Structure 1
Amino acid sequence: MDFIEELRNLSTNIAKQIENAVQIDRNITEEATKHAFVIPFIKILGYDPYNLTEVVPEFTADIGTKQGEKVDYAIFKDDEVIMLIECKKYGADLSDAHTSQLYRYFSVVNARIAVLTDGVIYRFYTDLEETNIMDSKPFLEFNMFDIQEPLVNELKRFTKPTFDLDAALTAASDLKYTKEIKQIMLEQLEAPSEDFVRFFLSSVYGGKRTQTVVQQFTGIVKRALNQFLNEQINQRLRSAIERGEATEDAIEVEIADEETEEEHESRIVTTEEELEGFFTVKSILREVVTADRIQHRDTIRYMSVVLDGSIKKIICRLHFNSARKYLGLVNEDGKHERVEIASIDDIYNYADELKATVQRYDTPEQKTETYDHETETQTIK
């Protein structure tokens, strides 16, 4: 089994563990996170968590007069500490408080790579800016629920068979600054700064560049950049369609990009609440279909729970990105109806409706379905 398949299998297993915990209302503690999520991840990286010459749990990282400081795992290779891993319970906020704890450990241990994780999100840090002082921002963030092949290739650098510190640090530098430049580009696409607007003005506008002109061109620059990106994406999709290479996923990228422009957003963030809602729906539907057929597709505004990975088989939508939570149900006519819910547990009140939707998709006589992305309406005839 290759590296990416091992990660995907672990991802599936983690999802099942979380789903089971939600079903029986059990809290996933830090120790449970380490045992069920993190140790298998360490094994996939090629290190033996039961061999103390490779993985040392509760590794001492005393700081000055402060004794008893311990990092959860220290990874060794050739008798040298190469990586520190600090674990928090699943769903924990990997905020500055936890980062500062790892920051202290990093300064007293001879390791150049430090990892902060909740068993799903893995943030990798090093000391690119100042030797032996951990950077405030990670150079790599890996999400077990969003396994992307380019990031998998970067993660491979930290596996036991291929680990090379110099190569890893070079890659870390590229990743860190590429990520930060992309973030700057994202910010400029959403809200162009005055300097950014003036850069374009200097090439296209021959008049006096007053503050009023800058303000006028701010909107023009923003629209032009978004239109340019959409045109590039659409052109590539059309070329792929002509070659017969376009997939449903590629078409959804185009749709997602259009939503990005409308919402002035550029990234999809899958929240813990959305995942909990998804696992709740999945547990309800296990009575009528196998769990592996229930999947999710996230967008900026909502998460869709779908059957067999098809956007044409939407079971429900989770609108959890505002102060109020809504569950989007699909009625017999294929129309979407939103109902407000006070908590995620309220989803159980609509178990019958969710099961009925799945059973309609699973009927022997397949109905003709159309989906209008403009009006977000699904019609079944």
Structure 2
Amino acid sequence: MDFSQKVKDLAKRSTHATKSALTEEATKTSVVLPLIQAFGFDVFNLDEVVPEFISDVGTKKGEKVDFVLKIAGKLSVLIEVKPISMSLGSSQYSQLYRYFGVTDARLAILTNGRDIWFFSDIDEPNKMDKKPFFVFDLQSHDAGQVQELARFQKSDFTIEGILEAASTLKYTTAAANYIKKQLKDPDDEFTKLVGRQIYTGMLTKAVIEQLRPAIQASLDEVIRDRIQDKLNIAFRPDAPAVELKEKTVEPTGTQSEIETTEEEIQAFMIVRAIAGRAIDLERITMRDAKSYCSVFVDDNNRKPICRFYFNGKSTKSVGVFDAAKDEVKHQITGLSDIYGLEKSITDVVKAYAG
């Protein structure tokens, strides 16, 4: 079983535990021990996994860390577990912070069986950072996050590599969150920053309010241009061909009557680029029929994303499904209009992502 499949199994365990695991011990058994196994550690070998590790903290004696992971005999990772019914927060962080300062570990994990928070000492040596450098949600994640999680496997574990990745992830995540916030609603400081480059007068409050929607629109345009650049690369003569699934027989026509047009392929590539922000691109597939062209997750009829209705003489439309499989049709005048359906497409893809 490869690591991504192990994560899928863990996701199912976490979802089930949300309904059934009522205690911390139940969370450990149902999710955390399988997680440690997925990382490649032998949970039955005390030379690799030590439960209830005693860590004296100052005047407090007999304080216990839920699990300690050892590599080549060295204490490498601390794991503190909370019930899956409990949200992770500052009180749990404080407990793990105390443990971190009196051990040789450079990596600490705080988890409730759904959220997994990874800490190190990037800001100050031997002092656990106040914020996790990586957060993984077992019930909601994408392929890129699974790749980052794979770094913590025993076979790939090097403290130097972990710390380098931690530093990169910490600032990349912070920057991405900031940019996402500005894409949604540019704040005054960001609007001023851009405004100074495009406006020669004084940036009064009225001017800032006038510039804000223009800056937000320009950010949307940049994102569209980046996606279009990727599509242009995909349609180069030397680019790999898009694989179209033909194994399903649609009731709307025979295979000999079906012609997949260049316009349908381009629309598929736009949807694929949008959906690729939430799910592995390879999971997005297309099947053509006589009356419409369908896009699915995992080539699965039960996971429809949208349909292209491009065969009409005067009008074209895109039908987007929701998680309940209800379809809403949107008339379009050009392929660029599909970008305006980004939220609906992303929402339904996320619903199928597990």
TM-score (norm 1): 0.62
Q: Corresponding residue for 1:251?
A: 271
CA RMSD of aligned residues (A): 3.6
**Counterparts of 1:188 and 1:317 in 2: how far apart (Å)?**
27
Identity of aligned residues (%): 33
Report if aligned partners of 2:21, 2:84 keep a CA contact under 8 Å in 1.
Answer: no
Deviation at residue 204 of structure 1 after TM alignment: 2.1
Deviation at residue 53 of structure 1 after TM alignment: 0.7
Cα distance change, pair 108–92 in 1 and its aligned pair in 2 (3 A): same
**Counterparts of 1:143 and 1:208 in 2: how far apart (Å)?**
45
Q: Corresponding residue for 1:159?
A: 153
Q: Corresponding residue for 1:289?
A: none
Report if aligned partners of 2:304, 2:325 keep a CA contact under 8 Å in 1.
Answer: no
**1:70 equivalent in alignment to 2:90:** no
Query: Within 5 A, what are the aligned runs for 1:31-46?
Result: 31-46=25-40
**1:149 equivalent in alignment to 2:169:** no
Report if aligned partners of 1:89, 1:118 keep a CA contact under 8 Å in 2.
Answer: yes
Query: What SS class does the counterpart of residue 221 from structure 1 fall into?
Result: helix
Deviation at residue 147 of structure 1 after TM alignment: 4.2
Structure 2: segments with no counterpart, 5+ residues: 243-264, 280-296, 308-318, 329-339, 345-354
Report if aligned partners of 2:86, 2:112 keep a CA contact under 8 Å in 1.
Answer: yes
Query: Within 5 A, what are the aligned runs for 1:293-332?
Result: 308-311=302-305
**Counterparts of 1:39 and 1:249 in 2: how far apart (Å)?**
40
User: What code does the residue aligned with 1:84 have?
Assistant: L
Q: Corresponding residue for 2:3?
A: 3
**1:220 equivalent in alignment to 2:240:** no
Cα distance change, pair 255–112 in 1 and its aligned pair in 2 (3 A): closer
Cα distance change, pair 46–96 in 1 and its aligned pair in 2 (3 A): same
Report if aligned partners of 1:10, 1:41 keep a CA contact under 8 Å in 2.
Answer: yes
Report if aligned partners of 1:8, 1:147 keep a CA contact under 8 Å in 2.
Answer: no
Q: CA deviation digits over 1:291-328, x for unaligned, max 9?
A: xxxxxx9xxxxxxxx962223699x978xxxxxxxxx7
Report if aligned partners of 2:93, 2:110 keep a CA contact under 8 Å in 1.
Answer: yes
**1:60 equivalent in alignment to 2:54:** yes
The structure whose RCO (Cα within 8 Å, separation 6+) is larger is: 2
Q: Corresponding residue for 2:126?
A: 132
Q: Corresponding residue for 1:12?
A: 12
Deviation at residue 256 of structure 1 after TM alignment: 10
Choose from 169, 172, 178 the match for 2:172. Answer: 178
User: What code does the residue aligned with 1:29 have?
Assistant: T
Cα distance change, pair 63–89 in 1 and its aligned pair in 2 (3 A): same
**Counterparts of 2:233 and 2:87 in 1: how far apart (Å)?**
42
**Counterparts of 2:10 and 2:207 in 1: how far apart (Å)?**
55
Q: CA deviation digits over 1:22-68, x for unaligned, max 9?
A: 4xxx4432111111111111011111111111110011122111122
Deviation at residue 135 of structure 1 after TM alignment: 1.0
Deviation at residue 89 of structure 1 after TM alignment: 1.4
Cα distance change, pair 28–253 in 1 and its aligned pair in 2 (3 A): farther
User: What code does the residue aligned with 1:33 have?
Assistant: T
Structure 1: segments with no counterpart, 5+ residues: 258-266, 269-296, 298-305, 319-327, 336-371, 377-381
